[in-house]
Amino acid sequence: MITVHSVRELRAAVAHARAEGRSIGFVPTMGNLHSGHAALVEKAGQRADFVVASIFVNPLQFGPSEDLATYPRTLVADQETLLVAGCHLLFAPSVAEMYPQGMDGQTRVSVPGVSEGLCGASRPGHFEGVATVVSKLFNMVQPDVAVFGQKDFQQLAVIRALVRDLNLPVQIIGEPTVRAADGLALSSRNGYLDEAQRAIAPTLYATLQQLAAAIDAGERDFAKLVKSGKSQLKKAGLRPDYLEIREADQLRPAGSDDRHLVILAAAYLGSTRLIDNLAFEVAAPH
């Protein structure tokens, strides 16, 4: 695996792979990689001949009170993870390389609709930062396919809309969330949890499972289910940011006739913000 730090080196390496007739797969990350990230790289390797990953902690997607300064940077360990997963090229740029004119005057990409509400409401400007950096990375790498995890369900919806609306020739693949044995979605931020918090954290996904089971059993009072779910999270020691039931394709509030649903949640354990979701199909009534 080659590691490069400049756009010029990145483009030269990708051009060489293209000249050899190889298709390009891409996995953008912020580093501090775990087995969930490795699964994305492995998927890219199944769908393309030459796999590029990026590691860039993007300042544009962090709010002023968020953990940009303390977000873990673990490049050496990440390089080993990527190598084992089958990555061919790592792009690890600096902030100056990504934003050479500075961030204040940076052209921004905004995706209306799916970016609103949920994490978009809790983290103003976050998805504009995501859409902007992903647009830049797509232009730099020019991949045939790009793989994203479904744990960030709203982010995946934003990127799908971005690619569709801007006619970008990139196939977006959503890879199922990788979980610990107790159900907790793997996340770089899980490392912030102490032992007691880590024992509580699986309650988030367990609550989503219970709500989905109730819907599958015929419950259609979504407001009642959400209230019950929030109460359960609070009782366990989590502080809900949001818990919502949405139609999974457009992320609009779910109606009783919708069949493709997703339950999305974010909650705090101490100062650590966890997110999760559960998408499922509801059987049509007989």
Same domain? For 160 and 198 the reply is no
User: Is 92 inside any structural domain?
Assistant: yes
Strand order in the sheet with 239-247: 239-247, 260-269, 272-281
Residues of the chain with pLDDT under 50: none
pLDDT recorded at residue 256: 86
What does DSSP say about strands 145-149 and 171-175: parallel, antiparallel, or unpaired? Answer: parallel
Same domain? For 112 and 199 the reply is no
Separation CA 17–CA 25 (nearest Å): 11
pLDDT in tens, 22-31: 999 999 999 9
Separation CA 126–CA 249 (nearest Å): 21
Tokens 């953990």 locate to 67
pLDDT recorded at residue 286: 59
Separation CA 202–CA 206 (nearest Å): 6
Closest CA to 190 of 277, 274, 126: 274
pLDDT recorded at residue 65: 84
Identify whether 37 is a catalytic site residue.
yes
- Report yes or no: 162 and 190 within 8 Å, Cβ to Cβ: no
Same domain? For 75 and 199 the reply is no
pLDDT recorded at residue 283: 83
- Report yes or no: 53 and 13 within 8 Å, Cβ to Cβ: no
Which of 37, 88, 260, 286 does the annotation list as catalytic? 37
* Domain stop point among 150, 175, 200: 175
pLDDT recorded at residue 41: 98
User: Is 97 inside any structural domain?
Assistant: yes
Domain count, the chain: 2
Q: 74 to each of 86, 91, 200, 251, 265, how far by Cα in Å?
A: 18, 14, 26, 34, 28
Same domain? For 120 and 235 the reply is no
User: Is 181 inside any structural domain?
Assistant: no
pTM: 0.95
pLDDT recorded at residue 99: 98
Same domain? For 73 and 197 the reply is no
Same domain? For 105 and 229 the reply is no
Same domain? For 160 and 228 the reply is no
Q: Which amino acid is at 157?
A: A
* Domain stop point among 175, 199, 217: 175
CATH number at residue 167: 3.40.50.620
Same domain? For 166 and 231 the reply is no
- Report yes or no: 137 and 24 within 8 Å, Cβ to Cβ: no
Same domain? For 33 and 168 the reply is yes
Separation CA 279–CA 284 (nearest Å): 16
Give the residue numbers spanning the domain of 208.
Answer: 188-278
- Compute how many other C-beta atoms are within 10 angstroms of the C-beta atom of residue 176: 12
Separation CA 212–CA 215 (nearest Å): 5
Same domain? For 211 and 78 the reply is no
- DSSP H helical ranges for the chain: 7-19, 35-47, 75-85, 95-98, 119-122, 126-141, 153-165, 195-200, 203-216, 222-236
Same domain? For 110 and 167 the reply is yes
